[in-house]
Amino acid sequence: DGGITQSPKYLFRKEGQNVTLSCEQNLNHDAMYWYRQDPGQGLRLIYYSQIVNDFQKGDIAEGYSVSREKKESFPLTVTSAQKNPTAFYLCASSPHDSHHNPSGYEQYFGPGTRLTVT
């Protein structure tokens, strides 16, 4: 059964600690994305990766870091430098075969991780 998994669903951390959120996909998609969602603000792009060993900053990358060592995995680390880390984090992937098929732009989302930092 193909899809995107994020773990854990709920995560609690003390202020000043780094925390890593997991995102795994078995859809054989090239591109992966991390979004942050706050109430009333929609989705904001943190980082994205269109190929293994390469990633780019999104609109709100400060205080976050990522790696893309495997096609299936795109973990996000929320560092202590992120001033307001409490949020709902969503991971997504897309085929990125956009040159031949616009459906490559469709993004498929995981169930999300709710991070609470106190």
Partner 1 sequence: AQSVTQPDIHITVSEGASLELRCNYSYGATPYLFWYVQSPGQGLQLLLKYFSGDTLVQGIKGFEAEFKRSQSSFNLRKPSVHWSDAAEYFCAVVNWMDSSYKLIFGSGTRLLVRP
Q: Where are the alpha helices (DSSP H) in the chain?
A: none
Taking CB under 8 A as the binding criterion, the range among 14-22, 61-69, 77-85, 104-112 that sits at the site for partner 1 is 104-112
Q: Give the C-alpha separation, 73 to 76, whole Å.
A: 10
Long-range contacts of 45-49, Cβ-Cβ distance < 8 Å, separation of 24 or more:
46/76, 46/89, 47/76, 49/74
Q: For partner 1, which residue of 1, 40, 84, 99 counts as binding (CB under 8 A)?
A: 40
- Distance of closest approach, residue 49 Cβ to partner 1, in angstroms: 10
Nearer to partner 1, 16 or 102 (CB): 102
Q: For partner 1, which residue of 15, 99, 102, 118 counts as binding (CB under 8 A)?
A: 102
